[in-house]
Structure 1
Amino acid sequence: MPRHDTKASGTWHSALDRLQRQARPHALASVVGTAGSTPREPGAKMVITPDAVHDTLGGGSFEFQVIDVARAALSGGEGGSHLEAFPLGGRSGQCCGGYVHVLIEVFTGAEMTVALFGAGHVGRALVEILAPLPWRVLWFDSRDDAFPSEVESHERLSCRRIAAGSEGADVASAVDSLPPGCHALVMTHDHAEDRALVDALLRRGDCASLGLIGSASKWASFRRRLADAGHDAAALGTVRCPIGIPGAKGKRPYEIALATAAELLTLKPDVQRPDRLGVAPEVLRDAFTPPRD
């Protein structure tokens, strides 16, 4: 029997509210039907994350199995809901001898992760635009007191200072800290730092996209030096510079931020949804319709 020693304090509804606001992966397990002797009644719920459990469905082997099923679904990275049946005397090995149907709803968390390097005028405007979206933003800057105090407590925003290294900002460590598959945007206050970041991001090679603020002439200069550093044409061709949706006009920081946010929307993964979502009607009918004599 696997150990589950990650019980967290708090009720399922407080955990669900917090995780929804943080756009973090989690699953909601709800008892929706019972027969015979069971640990909890219909309506009992628990919230499961990859490393914690909030509230309880009654404990024992049955609860461990619910946690295992929920975490397996979370590890698959696909949202949705499905119904699981647990015969407590058979599958769960409990003495209750009853039968429990559990609805497991999986929330995959943030739709996108954006790594934003630079807390200048455009960076601040972009964070303001992205704040209402269910995206996680990892915001970096190498300057002291670069981040506005009012956003440092935002639940889907992580403000991270790039530490000083022996030759300036330690951009390599900042880039190494990123999760795979994030969308990186480089717009710092310093061209040398921008170039070092693009170099490190290209060497890492697993960003979903990479954008650099600036003009075509800035990119031409960067491109030559990055090519000299060993990056081939295919890698350099993945860098977008200037950033922003094509055709957008305006040079004000908020205008550039709007165009950049619109461009990110075009890069958002296109999730193909099946024609029918959730638990199949016939499964629900069989689960909840009492047998006829």
Structure 2
Amino acid sequence: MGFDLEALREAVKTHGNVARVVIAAIKGSSPREVGAAMLVWKNGQSGTIGGGTLEFQAAKAARSQTAHARQTQHALGPDLGQCCGGAVTLLSEIYDLDAVDSLDDTVVARSASNTEMPLAVKRLLAQARGQGLTPEPQLLDGWMIEPVHKPARNLWIWGAGHVGRALVDVLSPLPDLAITWVDTGPERFPETIPAGVTSIPTVKPAELVRHAPRDAEHLVLTYSHTLDLELCNRLLSHDFRFAGLIGSATKWARFRSRLAALGHSPERIARITCPIGDPSLGKHPQMIAVGVAAQVLHPARQNELKKDLSA
């Protein structure tokens, strides 16, 4: 969780002045954690601070807000009739492009009351910027502190067909993923590419493998078995954190044989996961995407990846 600077910048560019409402502090139970935020503009919003009455009233108040920043307290049970029973402090701020451009790109620290920065905040910022320590989102001596969000994982999706599009629809809203989407031509992509997704049309997609970070994760699902095989070949020669190939057991048996003939060892080939997803969900593109997304995001698989990286 962190301050999503790019999402805020894009919202301001698209909608003009935008209010950002963030949970600054919690007492007791709450529908979301400290640092959860939503963006609100005249006719819409994105993100969530937990839904329900709290979010509805906070969005309504943000649309009529005149002050640059406002800090409010809300008792979820007595005031709002929500079952959580705790209390939250919200910080609501209005941003235009100048305000967004003035923000620090490492840690955003500010006070709704424009008080002088306390020593405790100065020390925390010095540690964050000087020692590379990322602070947790928190309200400290009246100052809201949030690290600027940086996607933690690079995901490359090879193929913009039905399954590729469904996967991008499912995964692109997740803030921890920086998605690179590759296919053979611009006509293969939809007219609108989701925010946070970099689309790359290229006649020879396999040539891009060498530009991928070695800790990137890859999902190979192009329209061509020949291209799929070449991508697997290049990935095995390059390195990756995870690589998954869409296909049947029969397809994977043929690929294993061909990859072995190209000089890859059985142990190396076994690093590619095929099939990907959950076959029990069916073959509809959206169902395939749901299964693959669950596999990519499953905590147990992430623990396995961490072990691989530390080995």
Output the TM-score relative to the length of structure 1: 0.58
Match of 1:266 in 2: 298
Counterpart AA for 1:259: G
Residue 105 of structure 1: how far off its partner (Å): 3.1
Q: List aligned pairs for 1:35-74, cutoff 5 A.
A: 47-49=103-105, 69-72=127-130
Change (3 A) 1:138 1:149: same
Offset, 1:254: 1.4
Shift of 1:156: 1.0
Gaps of 5+ in 1: 1-11, 22-42, 58-63, 85-99, 271-293
- Correspondent of 2:198 among 143, 158, 175: 158
Alpha-carbon deviations, 1:117-139, whole Å to 9, x = none? 00011101111111322122110
Unaligned stretches of 5+ residues in structure 2:
13-90, 92-98, 115-121, 304-311
1-structure distance, mates of 2:4, 2:249: 51
Cα distance, 1:253 vs. partner? 1.3
Tell me: higher relative CO, structure 1 or 2? Use CA pairs within 8 A at least 6 residues apart.
1
Higher helix fraction (1 or 2): 2
State TM-score, norm by structure 2.
0.55
Q: CA deviation at 1:146?
A: 0.9
Structure 1 residues 143-292: aligned runs within 5 Å: 143-150=185-192, 152=193, 154-162=194-202, 164=203, 169-172=204-207, 174-205=208-239, 207-245=240-278, 248-266=280-298, 269=302
Amino acid at match of 2:201: R
Cα deviation 1:230-272 (Å, max 9, x = unaligned): 2112211111111104x633111111111111111116646xx
Q: Which runs of 4+ in 1 moved over 6 A?
A: 12-16, 52-55, 64-68, 100-103
Q: Which residue of 2 aligns with 1:140?
A: 182
CA contact (8 A) 1:244 1:256 kept: yes
Query: Do the aligned partners of residues 176 and 101 (structure 1) sit closer, same or farther apart at CA in structure 2, a change above 3 Å counting?
Result: farther
CA displacement, residues 19-55 of structure 1 (integer Å, 9 cap, x when unaligned) = 899xxxxxxxxxxxxxxxxxxxxx9x963326x9999
If you compute each CA radius of gyration, which structure gives the higher value, 1 or 2? 1
Q: Any idea what the Cα deviations from partners look like across 1:141-160, whole Å, max 9, x if unmatched?
A: 0134111012x2x2211101
In the superposition, relative to structure 1, how do residues 155 and 144 fare at CA in structure 2: closer, same or farther (>3 Å)?
Answer: closer
Q: Report the Cα offset of residue 198 of structure 1.
A: 0.8
Cα distance in 2 for partners of 1:53, 1:105 equals 5
Identity of aligned residues (%): 31
Which whole-Å CA distance do the structure 2 matches of 1:144 and 1:20 have between them?
25
* Partner AA of 1:128 in structure 2: D
